[in-house]
């Protein structure tokens, strides 16, 4: 039980799947700082750190009040030394300028900073600095991709992707996932799942969509990861940053200038288009429910896995659910099936903003 004179009495579970977290985030500055670091460590494949920052951020998101000083966090679960240090810093300063660039992690950011660089123009003008392709597009589209994507823009992108999907495979399945499926008003990207009813054609669908966007001149950046999915593999005991489905990380050109509900950004003005980060993942149809649950994301989904393992002796990931006691895979065609297997009350996507 947690409470101080200034805050209401509240029990905060260490499990996000036992908390109800809406899109109202009273601690956005802190959770943004923690998530920038979490994401960088995810890219650098340092899972422990990434996990710790994600859990800390998730706990702060569930609070119905704003943290104003470290003392406010006494008694809360999942806040380690590192997270507290980050929180202390961003409660006093505001940092992490370089890590806010797509493709720039904390190591690179620190290297640049220690080398005396203080601004983007310092970096771009510095001799002997090599930017990889991802970082180049990160700087090129910095203004656009650091500007939040609105729900209306996500919808417009959905139409654009839907059009490409239909052109490749008319009866394909397309679903919005990620933060926008959780009902968020704004996001840092737009995530979709695409698959085919006919098994084995889903990867071709994905490359077809990419090809079409390219032909339309809408593809500003594309990192494509082919499928490495293997059904016999058990869900990993370890934290896995990524699943094994075919997927791509894109920067897409969204035409139409300001879509109603979009933010007013200096760059958008008069230009008639903006760049948006888009993720597409393409699981086989029989893995759809697991992929949808996984990609709907947030800390909630990570804690579902932790809960499954710790409390049910089951292994859950983006591909499958395995019961270690019964030694069998549990089938699911919907998310509700998966919650039921886990003996959990179903929680709607918009209550999963942990
Ligand atoms: N994901 C993944 N591998 C990645 C990136 C994302 O598997 N490299 C999946 C994860 O399951 C994650 C989900 O996609 O939980 C959504 O991730 P992301 O788009 O980063 O976050 P959102 O919750 O959509 O929030 P945002 O508005 O910041 O995009
Ligand atoms: Mn997203
Ligand atoms: Mn994100
Ligand atoms: Mn994403």
Contact present, 209 and 193 (Cβ < 8 Å): no
- The Cα–Cα gap between 185 and 271 comes to 24
Closest CA to ligand 1's atom 11: 295
Closest CA to ligand 1's atom 8: 242
Enclosing H/E stretch for 195:
strand 190-195
**Residue 2 confidence (pLDDT) above 80:** no
**For 120-162, what is each residue's pLDDT tens digit?**
778 889 998 999 999 999 989 988 888 899 999 999 999 999 9
Kindly state if the Cβ of 138 falls inside 6 Å of ligand 1: no
Using a cut of 0.80, tell me whether the model's pTM lies above it: no
- Ligand 1 nearest-atom number relative to CA 294: 11
**Residue 114 confidence (pLDDT) above 80:** no
- Ligand 1 nearest-atom number relative to CA 35: 28
**For 153-198, what is each residue's pLDDT tens digit?**
999 999 999 999 999 999 999 999 999 999 999 999 999 999 999 9
- The Cα–Cα gap between 234 and 231 comes to 8
Would residue 323 show up in a list of annotated catalytic residues for this protein?
A: no
**Which pLDDT score is estimated for 232?**
62
Contact present, 287 and 245 (Cβ < 8 Å): yes
Kindly state if the Cβ of 317 falls inside 6 Å of ligand 1: no
- Rounded distance from Cα 7 to ligand 2 centre (Å): 32
**Residue 257 confidence (pLDDT) above 90:** no
**Residue 258 confidence (pLDDT) above 80:** no
Would residue 269 show up in a list of annotated catalytic residues for this protein?
A: no
**For 5-64, what is each residue's pLDDT tens digit?**
455 556 899 999 999 898 877 788 788 889 988 988 887 788 899 999 999 999 999 998
Kindly state if the Cβ of 283 falls inside 6 Å of ligand 1: no
Pairing of β 219-225 and β 246-255: antiparallel
Would residue 286 show up in a list of annotated catalytic residues for this protein?
A: no
- Which 3-state string (H, E, C) describes 248-261? EEEEEEEECCCCCC
**Which pLDDT score is estimated for 36?**
87
Architecture of domain 98-144 in this structure:
Orthogonal Bundle (1.10)
- The Cα–Cα gap between 140 and 277 comes to 13
Catalytic residue among 122, 162, 279, 286: 279
286 is in an annotated binding site: no
**For 304-334, what is each residue's pLDDT tens digit?**
999 999 999 999 999 999 999 999 999 999 9
191 is in an annotated binding site: yes
Domain residue extents for the chain:
2-92, 98-144, 146-288, 291-351
Q: What is the CATH number of domain 291-351?
A: 3.30.210.10
323 is in an annotated binding site: no
User: Does domain 2-92 sit in CATH 1.10.150.110?
Assistant: yes
**Residue 95 confidence (pLDDT) above 50:** no
**98-144 and 146-288, same CATH topology:** no
- The Cα–Cα gap between 96 and 87 comes to 12
Architecture of domain 146-288 in this structure:
2-Layer Sandwich (3.30)
Q: Which residues contact 82 (CB under 8 A, 6 or more apart)?
A: 49, 52, 53
Confidence band for 94, pLDDT divided at 50, 70 and 90: very low
**Residue 4 confidence (pLDDT) above 50:** no
């Amino acid at each position: 039980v947690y409470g101080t004179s200034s805050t209401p009495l509240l029990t905060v579970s260490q499990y996000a799947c036992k908390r109800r977290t809406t899109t109202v985030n009273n601690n956005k500055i802190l959770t943004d700082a923690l998530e920038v670091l979490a994401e960088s460590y995810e890219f650098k494949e340092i899972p422990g750190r990434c996990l710790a920052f994600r859990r800390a951020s998730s706990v702060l998101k569930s609070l119905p009040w704003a943290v104003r000083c470290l003392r406010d966090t006494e008694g809360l679960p999942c806040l380690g030394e590192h997270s507290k240090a980050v929180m202390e810093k961003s409660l006093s300063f505001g940092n992490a300028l370089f890590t806010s660039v797509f493709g720039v992690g904390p190591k690179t950011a620190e290297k640049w900073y220690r080398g005396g660089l203080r601004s983007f123009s310092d970096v771009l003008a510095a001799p002997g600095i090599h930017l990889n392709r991802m970082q180049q597009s990160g700087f090129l589209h910095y203004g656009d991709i650091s500007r939040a994507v609105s729900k209306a823009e996500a919808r417009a992108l959905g139409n654009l992707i839907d059009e490409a999907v239909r052109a490749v495979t008319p009866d394909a399945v397309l679903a919005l996932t990620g933060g926008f499926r959780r009902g968020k008003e704004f996001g840092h990207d737009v995530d979709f799942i695409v698959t085919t009813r006919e098994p084995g054609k889903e990867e071709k669908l994905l490359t077809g969509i990419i090809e079409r966007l390219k032909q339309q001149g809408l593809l500003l950046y594309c990192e494509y990861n082919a499928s490495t999915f293997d059904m016999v593999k058990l869900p990993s005991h370890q934290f896995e940053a990524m699943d094994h489905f075919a997927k791509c990380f894109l920067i897409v050109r969204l035409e139409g200038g300001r879509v109603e509900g979009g933010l007013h950004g200096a760059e958008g003005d008069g230009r008639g288009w903006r760049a948006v980060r888009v993720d597409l993942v393409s699981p086989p149809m029989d893995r759809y429910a697991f992929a949808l649950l996984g990609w709907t994301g947030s800390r909630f989904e990570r804690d579902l896995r932790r809960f499954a393992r710790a409390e049910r002796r089951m292994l859950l990931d983006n591909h499958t659910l395995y019961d270690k006691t019964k030694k069998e895979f549990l089938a699911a065609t919907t998310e509700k099936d998966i919650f039921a297997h886990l003996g959990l009350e179903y929680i709607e996507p918009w209550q999963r903003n942990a």
